[in-house]
Structures are given as structure tokens and as C-alpha cells.
Amino acid sequence: MNPETSPPAQVSSTLLKAKALELGFDTVGVCEAVPAPHMDAYRKWLDRGNHGTMDYLVRHLSLKESPQQLLPGARSVIAVGLNYNQPNPAETGQPRIAKYALGRDYHRVLRGKLKKLAAWIEREQPLAECRACVDSAPIFERDFAHLAGLGWFGKNTCLIDSKRGSWFFIGLLLTTHHFEPDQPSVGGCGNCRKCIDACPTGAIVFDEDRWQVDSRRCISYLTIEHRGAIETELAARIGDWTFGCDVCQTVCPFNESRESQPARAPQTCESDFYGTRWWPSLVELAQISEADWNSMSSGSAIRRAGIDGIRRNAKINLENAR
């Protein structure tokens, strides 16, 4: 065969992972592009109305059946993790925002890195096609991250890495090129129920022989996705959370560093995630103008709640403080 026309050498999973780490990801793994393992359980979760008012989850249901719905011919799913952990103490009179939203919008950060990884794959394997997916894409990112070895499902439904904890974003890169897959992650919470007992609204429930979250009671859902008024009983339990909630991860033992596990819950090295953004006081936030809101929320995940949602949440925080 003429060397000039011979196919390029196959890129190994080892080289792929080295490149992903070079781009700044903290963990990376590979799995086959199989049908979504939890599709039936997800349908039942939707049927019970646990998604609340997130009707888009129902509309996107068919797209979640398999990666091939998003990338025809997909053979491998590359799952990456990017740590966002950082100190986030509560301050009297100030909005309390979940750690993941303190810095730059994570969708932009992850998608930028994934596109660089995709460009590298397509350069090394000219016939390969790729598609980057963050959690805004209709795909079970935790399912495939689990299959790729990034973590296992905790009772709070977060993906937990036994060595590093759960403070990490998940990104997926679908590709038509086949990479050697990893083994699914193995682990469990045992008898621990700290997240269940600590949840202010009792949103973590046991149903259909597994632990799951009822979004209708989850503070993250109520403060971000829910539109309109919040029931008085639930509003009182929101406490000082203005956007999102970190309680079930904060109390998790896998997010506590210890002598035998010094790598657990490390602080992020991603400069885009550090909470350097200025936030107005709760009093100011409760009556923030459209112009100030647009300026403050630009490039931030907090924009998801909308100005009406943020005003509502700030008023609830002020009421709860009284």
C-alpha cells in the first residue's frame, strides 16, 4: 500500500485521556454508545410527575433513548469530569448561590474544552465525527459517565467518585470513532443517609426500589426551574438559598477529605469557576432592574432563573430571615 494513501494510525484511549487531561479536565473515561440504561426508570419518574413543570423533559424523551439520536453512527461516548469545588460561606443579607454557579457559566467552559478535544480527534482520525454534550443536551450524562467509570449513583442521585467526591461537572463527547471502553464505576452509600436527613424539604425519596429526587420539593428546582409562586410551606424551607442548593453534597462523607482519602473534594483549578462575580444584597436583588439584571447575569448560570425568579427568591430569603 502506498504510504501516502494508507489510513492514519488509530488513536488509543491512552492518548485520548492524556489529551483530555492536558485540556484541563480532571477525570476522563470511555464507554460504548449503548442505549440509555435508565430509560424505563426515567419514564416512570416522569409519569409520576416528579419533573414538576419541566415539560421539556417530556418533549425530549425520544432523543434520550440512545446517543445515535444525537449523532448517527456514534460508537463511543467520552465522559469527562471538571471539578468546581470552592469555599462558599453564607453571608448575612447576601444571596446564597450554589457553588456551581459562582463563576462563569459552566456550559461555556465545558463546551469550549470538549470542542478542542473533538477537533483533536477529528484531526487525528479524519473520518471521525464528534458532538459535544453538556447537561443542556437531551442525553443521560450521568448514565454514560457511570459506564465510563467516572462515578456511581449516590442516594442523592449525584454521581460520586469514591476518590474525589461529587463536586464535578460532567461533559460528554459522542464520536463515530471507536475507543477502548473502561469498566463502569462501582461503589455505594451503604447505610449512610446523611443527605436524606439533611435535605430541608425531604426531596430525596425511596420509590420503585431506588432512591430518587422529587423535583417538586427540591430547592434547586424551586429556585431555578419553577416559574410562579412557591407554596408557603416549601418557601419557608428554602431558607437562605437564592439559587440552587448544596446541602446534599455538603453533608456527603465522600466530599470530606481524610487521611486515607486526601484527594477527596479538592478545590477547583479552573480559574473560570472561581466566584469573583459581584452580587448585590438581597434587598437590592428583590427589586433589581432589568438593566442591572442583564449586566449581573451575563455569562452566568444564574441567568437560568430569570429576573422574576430571582426577585421572588430574594424576597423569600428576606422573609425567612425575619
Say how far apart CA 77 and CA 175 lie, in whole Å: 6
Strands (E), the chain: 27-32, 76-83, 96-97, 130-133, 152-153, 159-160, 168-175, 204-207, 210-213, 241-243
Active-site residue, from 47, 105, 135, 143: 135
Angle between helices 306-321 and 290-297 (to 10 degrees): 100
Phi, psi for residue 95 in degrees, rounded to 5: -65, 145
Distances (CA, A) of 30 to 37, 77, 114, 232: 16, 6, 14, 45
For residue 135, indicate whether it is catalytic: yes
Enter the C-alpha cell of residue 175: 464520536
Residue 239's nearest CA partner among 90, 45, 29, 56 is: 90
Angle between helices 13-22 and 106-124 (to 10 degrees): 140
Edge-to-edge strand order for the sheet containing 27-32? 27-32, 76-83, 168-175, 130-133
Q: Which residues are identified as catalytic?
A: 135
